[in-house]
Structure 1
Amino acid sequence: MNIDIREETKAIEEQVEAIVEKILVNQDKFKISTFHLSELPESNNWENHPNIDPIFKRHVEKLDTYKKDCLYWFSCEDAEKATILNNALNQYRTKYSGRNDYRVVPTSNQYNSDTNIIYVGVRRGSTAKNPKCTNIIGRINQHLGYYKQRKTQGLQLLHWAKYLDIDVTLHVVHFNDELGSLLYVIEKAIAKELVPHCGRH
């Protein structure tokens, strides 16, 4: 029996297109929360995280129920605010790269300037090593800047953006099933549409 790869590829592409269209049309339904950067809690010696902080946890506690594969993105209210945030990220990268206290941040997409989207990413499902912390909240904590390992790439907002007068919105799409490698295909397709300021796709 022969398999027509072109037909199979076309079927997958059509499936991905349908998923991407559904996500884009329903973006507001995937909004988890909007928070001001100054709200990010302090965390001396990493004893505090956004999902356990008494005040901030309301922004992300919904993610404790997300056990399957997730697609997520961070946005600002408009392209101007997103550009300010991205410029600050670029300044951090330039100033601290190579230093012992540098935290790895995503690369910049210098041509994606007319967008309010900062970053698009995915996280595979299942629970993390800590059963009280799902994989997606663990990843979001990294982006917010609450992770000991400096070399784990993320936005690291706590370390360079807390002083900015900007609101950031987190969107998360929680899929019903494990998508395998298709998750990364969907991520690329969404990133192509949302054109984030940083992160390679």
Structure 2
Amino acid sequence: MKEKIENEIKAAAGRLSNHLKNVQINGSSGYIQYDFKCSELLDWNDNDIRKSPEHKGFFEEVTNFTGPVLYFFEIISTQDSGAVRECMRAYKILEGSKSVPALKKRYNQDSRILYVGKVKRNFYGRVIQHLGYYKVARTQGLQLFYWAREFGLDVRLHAYHFEPEMHDLVSILELKFARDLKPITGKHS
């Protein structure tokens, strides 16, 4: 039995390493960068933001991101990371607030990265959650509509799309990039 399992482990590792080798040679299969001026976010809680005039093109493009995606939100406005965290913390303790990522006790104060994440499919849905337009309050996301709008935060979303074979490996990339980019929110262990 032990030998059979060892052989299966070796075979699985070989298949997984082939997928990583493909990414090493070819990179991701797609990339998009998009800026959100949170002060200009409208209330799309009762309508589909994918049909909004201001964001329709973005959502049409990311609908093609059907496989796993590694993404991060970069702070591009002038607020420092401490002020961003404080604004998010104030929202987090409000009664009825939606779930936001963990605020680390220790963080790199020079970091301009708000959050690093991954999704195995339906990337556009995850973006909607981060914007704050998802109906289920327990579903964690940045909830930018609720706290970053009045704060005037501007963020840039960077998203890297991968082939479906990377489904099980995108989590490893998320951990690597979270360690390197040092986001000011989110658990990455």
Q: TM-score range by the shorter chain?
A: 0.7 to 0.9
Report the residue type matching 2:164 in the other structure.
D
Report the CA distance between 1:55 and its aligned residue.
2.1
- State the shift of 1:141 in Å: 0.1
Matched, 1:105 2:104: no
- Give 1:50 shift: 2.8
Residue 37 of structure 2 contacts residue 154 of structure 2 at CA under 8 Å; is this kept in 1? yes
Task: Tell me the CA shift for residue 112 of structure 1.
Answer: 2.6
Partner of 1:174: 161
Q: Does 1:124 align with 2:123?
A: no
TM-score after normalising by structure 1: 0.75
**Secondary structure, in 3 states, of the residue corresponding to 2:49?**
coil
Q: Please give the alpha-carbon distance, in whole angstroms, between the structure 2 residues aligned to 1:154 and 1:139.
A: 8
Match of 2:35 in 1: 34
Using the TM superposition, name which of 179-188 and 151-160 deviates more: 179-188
* 1:40 CA displacement: 1.2
Q: Which SS does the other structure have where 1:178 is aligned?
A: helix
Q: How does 1:1-201 map to 2 (within 5 A)?
A: 3=6, 30-43=31-44, 46-77=45-76, 80-93=79-92, 95-96=93-94, 99=95, 101-109=96-104, 110-125=106-121, 135-201=122-188
Q: Deviations over 1:66-90 (max 9, x none)?
A: 1111111111127854443222111
Query: Aligned residues: percent identity?
Result: 31
- Structure 2: state its 5+ residue gaps: none
CA contact (8 A) 1:32 1:170 kept: yes
Q: 1:163 to 1:39 in 2, by over 3 A?
A: same
CA drift at 1:166: 2.5
Which whole-Å CA distance do the structure 2 matches of 1:78 and 1:162 have between them? Answer: 12
- Provide the rounded CA distance (Å) in 2 between the counterparts of 1:19 and 1:166: 33
* Alpha-carbon distance in structure 1 between the residues aligned to 2:81 and 2:73: 10
Deviation at 1:102, TM superposition (A): 1.9
Amino acid across the alignment from 2:97: Y
Q: Is the 8 A contact 2:132 2:144 kept in 1?
A: yes
Size of the aligned set, in residue pairs, is 181
- Shift in Å at residue 147 of structure 1? 0.8
Match of 1:130 in 2: none
Q: Give the Cα separation in 2 of the matches to 1:78 and 1:115.
A: 13
- What is the RMSD computed on CA atoms of the aligned residues? 3.2
Q: Which stretch of the first structure deviates more once superposed, 164-173 or 138-147?
A: 164-173
